Structure 1
Amino acid sequence: MYISKECRDTIKIKIILKNGSLLFCSSIFFHVIAVLFGAPFLESSAETFHFGMTMSATVVVPALCVMGTNTVQWIRIFAQNSPELGVESIVYFSTICSIVGSWLGAFPIPLDWDRPWQEWPITCVVGTLFGYCTGVIIGAAHLYINYNRIKRIKIT
């Protein structure tokens, strides 16, 4: 089927606008979640929004790059916990570890050490990035182990 150049350009613009709006909405979503978990609402709203953008960059952007806006795939991977072996499993593990890392990163904040690195949201951002990297490594190891297991089963 032939699609004209104008139609292809229109489709690309629609995809970019749709993904951009999803990214912005997810940043606001993570901002609201952080405030509901106790982040400062008025005093550090810029820092909280930057934390929301970091969460969106580590959680939503990889998923959008792999799955696009296909809600069936999003539900299958994240709600039903059944990613296919491949890039989906790496995105799944990096997303889960990124969220857990941000949650674990909040533990040093209430301690009374009065260190500059304990301010909001430094530890949560570091936890998010550390969790994301850990998730990518775990996902790659999971992919390697299961791929070799499948390959051995097919050979024998």
Structure 2
Amino acid sequence: MVLSRFDQQKTKHQLFHVSLSLATILICMAYMQYRRNWEHLGSFWDSLIVPIVFIGELLKVLLAHFYGRIEDGVLTAKQRQKKAAYFTPREILGGLTLQFLCTLLYAFICIILGAPVLGNYEQTFVLSLLMTLLTVSPTVFLLGGGGALQVCFCEKPEFVTKCEDTALNLFKYNALGGILGAWAGSVVAPLDWGRDWQVYPIPNVIGALLGSALGNIYACTHVLYATVRMYMSKKRG
């Protein structure tokens, strides 16, 4: 019975997480449709895309903390100690530094892949910041700078709880979808269509958002499929 209840909580967590992700993307798309002029997407001060994505990712982390409270009674002493140190000044500074370095890395990758070197600094910064929010920031918000650094090097921290592990797995879909979508958006940039949305970094921003949405839709489908299989197996038993 305990395992069954945990599975139900995990499924609820996954579905709410995916719902928040898709709601964030839909709000971004609705905002772009409302503005109509997509040239503002590359502006840091004249676009709400980055703040919307930031709030969406923060809400998903708060959701993970909400479901994580259920596990407080089964945490080891080391896990409790590490969780208490997530938001110390040192961890906050480390998390900010990691996100800053990742933003620089994404900017460097954008330049390598064809972004202007001597121009469009703001547009490159906005795209790089958006990619950081979709890939690295959620893990930093969840585990702090040290834990996120371990995850970046494909090493799962030993202090991660079951709820946090669920969130990390869902963050992977978000990150992979965003990266692949931003890369796929570069395909339309050199085409001679003369459309306003082909201007850098509009196709990359839209591609990152759509890729993130597709990644979360895949995650939702995977969760629902596993839930139906578990339900059918219980029914047959």
TM-score bracket for the superposition, by shorter chain length: 0.7 to 0.9
* Counterpart position of 1:143: 223
Match for 1:34: what amino acid?
C
For the pair 1:44 / 2:44, whether they are aligned, the reply is no
* Counterpart position of 1:80: none
| Corresponding residue to 1:99 among 179, 199, 203 | 179
| TM-score under structure 2 length normalisation | 0.53
For the pair 1:117 / 2:197, whether they are aligned, the reply is yes
* Counterpart position of 1:31: 107
Whichever structure has more helix as a proportion of its residues is: 2
Residue 72 of structure 1 and its aligned partner are, at CA, apart by 4.4
> 3-state DSSP class of the match of 2:88?
helix
| TM-score under structure 1 length normalisation | 0.77
Residue 38 of structure 1 and its aligned partner are, at CA, apart by 1.0
Q: How does 1:45-84 map to 2 (within 5 A)?
A: 45-68=121-144, 69-70=146-147, 71-74=149-152, 75-76=154-155
Distance 1:59 1:144 in 2: 24
* Counterpart position of 2:43: none
Residue 66 of structure 1 and its aligned partner are, at CA, apart by 3.8
Distance 1:154 1:122 in 2: 48
Residue 143 of structure 1 and its aligned partner are, at CA, apart by 2.7
Distance 1:136-1:152 versus aligned 2 partners, 3 A rule = same
Distance 1:97 1:109 in 2: 19
Distance 2:100 2:88 in 1: 18
> 3-state DSSP class of the match of 1:107?
helix
Match for 1:127: what amino acid?
G
Q: Per-residue CA shift, 1:113-133, capped at 9, x if unaligned?
A: 122211100000000011112
- Aligned pairs, number: 144
Residue 52 of structure 1 and its aligned partner are, at CA, apart by 0.4
Q: CA RMSD in A?
A: 2.8
Distance 1:72 1:15 in 2: 13
